[in-house]
C-alpha cells in the first residue's frame, strides 16, 4: 500500500468515526421516559471509540 492509499484509508476511517459518533448522539437524543432503548447509542459510541483507537495505533506505527 503506497502513501496515497494510506492517506485515503485513514481519511475514510476518520469520516466513519465521525458518522458513528454523530449517530450515537442522535440516538441518545431520542431517549425519553417512554423510549428507553439505550443499546444503540452505546453500540455507536463503542464502535467509534474502537475505530478511533485503531487509527491512533496506525498513525503511531507510521510515525515510527
pLDDT of residue 42: 94
pLDDT digits (tens, 9 = 90+) for 5-43: 777 888 899 999 999 999 999 999 988 888 777 899 999
The model's confidence at residue 4, banded by pLDDT at 50, 70 and 90, is confident
The b/e string for 18-37 (b: 16+ C-beta within 10 A; e otherwise) is eebbebbeebeeeeeeeeee
pLDDT of residue 56: 93
Cell of 15: 469520516
pLDDT of residue 1: 63
Q: Rounded to an integer, what distance in angstroms lies between the CA atom of residue 45 and that of residue 62?
A: 26
Domain residue limits, the chain: 3-63
Amino acid at each position: 500500500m503506497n502513501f496515497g492509499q494510506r492517506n485515503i484509508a485513514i481519511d475514510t476511517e476518520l469520516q466513519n468515526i465521525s458518522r458513528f459518533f454523530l449517530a450515537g448522539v442522535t440516538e441518545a437524543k431520542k431517549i425519553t421516559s417512554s423510549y428507553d432503548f439505550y443499546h444503540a447509542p452505546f453500540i455507536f459510541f463503542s464502535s467509534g471509540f474502537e475505530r478511533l483507537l485503531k487509527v491512533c495505533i496506525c498513525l503511531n506505527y507510521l510515525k515510527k
